Amino acid sequence: MIKLSPSILTSDFANLGAQLREIEEAGAQMLHLDVMDGSFVPSISIGLPVIRSIRRVSGLMFDVHLMILEPERYVEEFREAGADLITVHAEACTDLKKTIEKIHACGAKAGVSVKPATPVEDIFPILDQVELVLVMTVEPGFGGQAYLESCTEKIRVLRREILRRGLYVDIEVDGGIKKDTTLPVVLEAGANVIVGGTAIVNGNIRENTEGFLEVFRRFEP
C-alpha cells in the first residue's frame, strides 16, 4: 500500500492543531516529524515537547525522522513522546545495528535513512532488520528544495534488492516531491511511503492531500 506522510516542517505552527486535523481528515495515513539538532544538519526544528503535545490530538502514525547526531541517546524519549516509527541516519549513528535494536526494544518500528551522497548499498547489511528505508531526495535540513534527480536510481536499486531478498521493507522518500512531476517518478521507481512538505502543508491542505492520493491510486496494484 502507498502511504502519505505529510511533513509539518513548514507548517504555520501558530495554527498547528487545525492543520493536523485537516491532514488527518483529508486521508493521510502518517505524520512526518522532522527533528533537527543544528549539528547533523544546519537547522534546528521541533523536539520532544511538540511531539508529546500533538500526540494528544492526533491518531496518525507518527513517523519521526531524527536528523541528529548519535540518535541512540534519545530513542526511548522519542518513543515515550509518541513515535510509532523512529528513523535514524546511517551517517549519524555510532553503532547502527545497536541503535536499531534499541528502537525495537522500546516497541517502535525502525527506519534507517541515507543522505543523497550516501550509497544505498551501505545499508544492505542491515536491510533485513528494519521496517523502512528513507531515501533523502534533497540534502536534509530545509523544506522547499528541489528534488535531486540522482536519487531516483537509488530508489530503483533498493526496491530491486528488497524484492530479490523477499523482504517486506517500506521505501520512503523525502524532499522535493511534487504531485505532477516528481511524485510519479518516485512511485515508478518503487517508493511506497511519500513525504510531502511544502506541496501538502502550504496552501489548501485538503486539496493537496487529495491530489497526492489520486496519483497513488494510479500506481496501486
Ligand X SMILES: O=C(CO)[C@@H](O)[C@H](O)COP(=O)(O)O
For 202, residues 6+ apart whose C-beta sits below 8 A from its C-beta are 10
Q: Which residue sits closest to ligand X, CB atoms considered?
A: 197
- C-alpha cell recorded at residue 104: 525495537
- Residues 6+ positions from 180 with CB-CB distance below 8 Å: none
Residue with cell 551517517: 91
Site string for ligand X, 170-189 (x = CB under 6 A): ----xxxx------------
CA 49 remoteness from chain centre:
20
- Answer yes or no: is 7 a known binding residue: yes
Amino acid type, 32: H
197 is annotated as contributing to ligand binding = yes
- Interaction between residue 211 and ligand X (CB under 6 A): no
198 marked as binding residue: yes
Is 82 marked as binding a ligand?
no
Our finding on whether 28 is near ligand X (CB under 6 A) is no
63 binds ligand X (CB under 6 A): no
Nearer Cβ to ligand X (190/196):
196
Query: Quick check: is 174 catalytic?
Result: yes
Cα 147 from Cα 186, distance rounded (Å): 10
**Cβ 35 to ligand X shortest distance, Å:** 9
- Alpha-carbon distance 212 to 218, whole Å? 10
Task: Name the residues annotated as catalytic.
Answer: 34, 174
| Residue ranges that bind ligand X, judged by CB under 6 A | 7, 9, 32, 34, 65, 138, 140-145, 174-177, 195-199
